[in-house]
Amino acid sequence: MSGVTVATKPVGLWQRMGQRRTRNYLIAFLFILPALINFTVFRYLPILAAMQASLWQYSLLGGFGDFVGLQHYVNMLDDPLFWKSLQVTGTFVILKVPIQIVLSLALAILLQGEKWVAGFVRSAIFTPVVTSIMVISILWSMMYHSQLGLINSMLSGFGISRQAFLSDPNRALPAVTLMMIWKDMGFSMIILMAGLKGIPDTYYEAAIVDGANRWQAFWHITLPLLQRVLMFVVVTQTIFSFQVFVPVYTMTRGGPIDATKVIVYYIYQYGFLFQDMGYASALSMVTLALLLVVSVIQMRLFRTEVEY
């Protein structure tokens, strides 16, 4: 039987393409595998653990106690500090995000040139983004000091009386908001600047030929073609603003009179100070649900079919 040859079926074109596609999918999956592991271990599993803890009487020291079901969620309805923290968080988001986006867009338009001066200013504006939020919070606390702070010294130079920024219930939240706008503005500016680079110049040239001025070109060309980038910036900054914690913890500890007690600081208080991790987990799940709802609404508002 040594002279018998076995005929092999030639591999077809579609089969070779399928093998290549499978190999490409496998390579792509290996590239995103570290990110999937990171999200699973540090995002999804903690969310599931918090969801479970919200149904129990649970503390870090005593562990799981009695099963309480949805009682923690029911208790929120009668918790005035919960509603107060939501109000403070909402006020912070409403103050910070629109002002930051407007300033970032204006700076992105002004500094999109290639001159060295524009590059230096961009670097200076972006520096706070990569600086530790703890360091920035401490520095701004010193600047806001009612007696020795830099800001009050400058106000005194103009004949304005010294202001109690962080100890005044009416000024504490705006003071923290101003500091966070200054810190995060560089991130939004860089993203918006990248979006502006992606708009073809031919649109502006055609607008000039048609007699459009700068404001008309901005309103009818820049904003519509920048809508997807704006959606990304608005959604991410809203999420980051909902999660603000370090400035409040460092500068005000939620005071004065709960004027800066944002929802994440309230969660921290219940989980680590009051040792009621079950209620803190329930607060976290409600915050997550609110963020999802707000993000979906924002993405629907910014939905666009513009392609270029």
State residue 83's pLDDT score: 95
pLDDT band at 233 (very low <50, low <70, confident <90, very high): very high
Query: From CA 199, how far away is CA 205, in angstroms rounded?
Result: 12
Model confidence pLDDT, tens digit, residues 185-223: 999 999 999 999 988 889 888 888 888 888 888 898 899
Q: Can you tell me the distance from the alpha carbon of 87 to that of 111, in angstroms, rounded to the nearest whole number?
A: 36
pLDDT digits (tens, 9 = 90+) for 96-120: 999 999 999 999 999 887 777 888 8
Is the confidence at residue 17, as pLDDT, over 90? Answer: no
Under a CB-based contact definition with an 8 Å cutoff, are residues 172 and 91 in contact? no
What is the predicted pLDDT for the residue at 212? 84
Mean per-residue pLDDT over the chain, rounded: 88
Residue-wise pLDDT tens digits, 235-284: 999 999 999 999 999 999 998 999 999 999 999 999 999 989 999 999 99
The better pLDDT of the pair 306, 292 is held by 292
Read off the pTM. 0.86
Domain boundaries, the chain: 13-53, 72-301
| Rg of the chain in Å (alpha carbons) | 27
- Model confidence at 12: pLDDT above 70: no
**Environment class of 217 (CB within 10 Å of its CB; exposed 0-12, middle 13-18, buried 19+):** middle
Q: 243-247: long-range contacts (C-beta < 8 A, 24 or more apart)?
A: 244/89, 244/92, 244/176, 244/180, 246/133, 246/134, 246/137, 247/133, 247/136, 247/137, 247/140, 247/176, 247/179, 247/180
The pLDDT tens digits of the residues spanning 254-265 come to 989 999 999 999
Rounded Cα gap, residues 290 and 293, in angstroms: 5
- Residue 307, pLDDT > 60, answer no
Rounded Cα distance, 225 and 267, in Å: 39
| Confidence at residue 306, expressed as pLDDT on a 0 to 100 scale | 44
Give start and end residues of each alpha helix (H) in the chain. 13-39, 45-53, 71-77, 80-110, 116-126, 133-143, 150-157, 172-197, 201-209, 214-217, 223-225, 227-242, 246-251, 263-268, 277-301
Residue scoring higher pLDDT (62 or 175): 175
CATH, domain 72-301, list 1.20.120.330, 1.10.150.20, 2.50.20.10, 1.10.3720.10: 1.10.3720.10
Question: What does the DSSP assignment read for 245-271?
Answer: -HHHHHHTTT-STTTT--HHHHHHIII
Q: Give the Å distances, CA to CA, from 201 to 45, 48, 207.
A: 47, 48, 10
The per-residue pLDDT for 60 is 82
Share of residues in the chain with pLDDT > 90 (%): 58
Coil/strand/helix, residue 69: coil
Across residues 276-303, what is the average pLDDT?
92
Residue 66, SS3 per DSSP: strand
